[in-house]
Structure 1
């Protein structure tokens, strides 16, 4: 039999646990001659230490030991969620069915009786290692699938250019946060932000420069937001921020920080330098006329309309704004 390759490309490690030194020596010599790397322990506590230091690929575990017996060791290893799957073959001089059942119920994957039949022992070791390596491959595939699913999830809720939440997901977040706010009595603010005269920038400098402006504006909004805030790209040059546990006045302060940061920022695309401003509308719940997520959003949009038509580069609160024309 040739050396069995481990998943990481090194030699396969087998932990032999037995309180009888002669048994350890016999198993170590036999398995080493077959190309395995053998690690040994003479009691249950030492076995757990070896596993904690570097999990082996398989454990040959004697049942009858002083202190922690093989059943207890197997149970502790199998109950440790931080450990990978490690096949455990219980080695026992007992042959009663109840003893075998107890061993398997403790988490062991197989058993073999003393005195050893080495051909049988090696066959069981090979079988358990095949299961181990297949399980490791399955775990790796599952981790890769989980990572892909997370990336797909992120793509489904994220705007590709700005890396903010996209329009669809923002609406879902707004409904969720509004319901939470209505349950808890905490306020929630919505800030609508629109870059001023953005179309003329695109017409003058081209869409690549416009994309730089959109991306850097999104970065400004993200850096201004708290960890619990939810900024998104609402569409075109329009952005939104959902601010949990925030009233209209605090929402205005957030919008003013964004407005000032955009006004003071130089947007650069190669040799092109552009200055921009942004108009903002702020609304909050609870407040008159904001009793639904749609009404809250409409109130913030009406305030944004007033900011645009009141001279741009300003922040308007919904409580101060006139209704936008239909």
Structure 2
């Protein structure tokens, strides 16, 4: 007696599709005796519904059926990207060679002729199931690789401490937004934010407490932003927000929300409680600001005025010296 296809043969599901009940019964009996779980369908519509409900591991598919023939069934299954790889063996009479060719071109993987040679049938079934096992393993490895690549991509653009975008990626995003603005005519605002007297925190309480302050500040900024806004750690205790479709005034309103939230927040690291403030510089596209670098420079100059004008305040670039011609 032929052995089972493998250690999981008892859980292997085979769909038999044929409009002739005797053919279905014969294949069902033979395959069931070999330990396979057999489900049946008598037409193409039933077959597609069965596949959508619980995808089988393999399909034995008669070519000639009323209504939707086997070629069309195979074509629809293979075109459905939501389905896993399912080997399809066409079952056909010897006189239907052209139908076999068309069926294989529709996506079927193998064929067997009537009347059945059961040893050949079982060999082809086992061969197709081995191929499915290999394909499933390959698909799993590809999914794992895709997930790993996504994680690596995230790591490459993310600041490890604050989980915001890192310095390099912020520049990439700003260039993209500046290019988009040039196409659409929509404005962009940039907000530079710097924690006031942050060095004192590290000197007094140590870097772990400083890290808590940086992380919680990042969360405050992120929570103040819209979904379309892009927030990054620009370096040290300095943060940046890129605000698409935003002029200087709403950009300043965003900065004020951040400034107030930081001022009201109590930073805690164990028993240590700390109050902080933040200074902000805001700039948007205007005359003389014709590049991402110029926009950053304008926001940074406004931040400089905020830091040297008493800290814990928001300064707009339009309140400072005009941009260079």
TM-score by length of 1: 0.96
The 8 Å contact of residues 5 and 11 in structure 1, kept in 2 or not, is answered as no
Aligned residues: 321
The 8 Å contact of residues 4 and 36 in structure 1, kept in 2 or not, is answered as no
d(CA) in 1 for partners of 2:92, 2:239: 69
Q: Secondary structure at the match of 1:161?
A: coil
d(CA) in 1 for partners of 2:250, 2:49: 55
Match of residue 4 from structure 1: 6
The worse-fitting range, judged by mean Cα deviation, of 113-122 and 28-37 is: 28-37
Structure 1 unaligned regions, length at least 5: none
d(CA) in 2 for partners of 1:223, 1:177: 21
Q: Secondary structure at the match of 2:120?
A: helix
Structure 2 unaligned regions, length at least 5: none
Q: Secondary structure at the match of 1:162?
A: coil
Match of residue 292 from structure 2: 293
User: How far did 1:173 drift?
Assistant: 0.9
Match of residue 310 from structure 1: 309
Match of residue 277 from structure 1: 277
CA RMSD in angstroms comes to: 1.4
Q: How does 1:130-279 map to 2 (within 5 A)?
A: 130-279=130-279
User: How far did 1:33 drift?
Assistant: 1.0
d(CA) in 1 for partners of 2:250, 2:322: 22
Q: Say whether residues 1:75 and 2:109 are aligned partners.
A: no
Match of residue 66 from structure 1: 66
User: How far did 1:183 drift?
Assistant: 1.6
User: How far did 1:15 drift?
Assistant: 0.3
The 8 Å contact of residues 10 and 36 in structure 2, kept in 1 or not, is answered as no
Deviating beyond 4 angstroms after TM superposition, the runs of 4 or more aligned structure 1 residues are: none
TM-score by length of 2: 0.96
Q: How does 1:68-147 map to 2 (within 5 A)?
A: 68-147=68-147
The 8 Å contact of residues 17 and 62 in structure 2, kept in 1 or not, is answered as yes
d(CA) in 1 for partners of 2:97, 2:17: 22
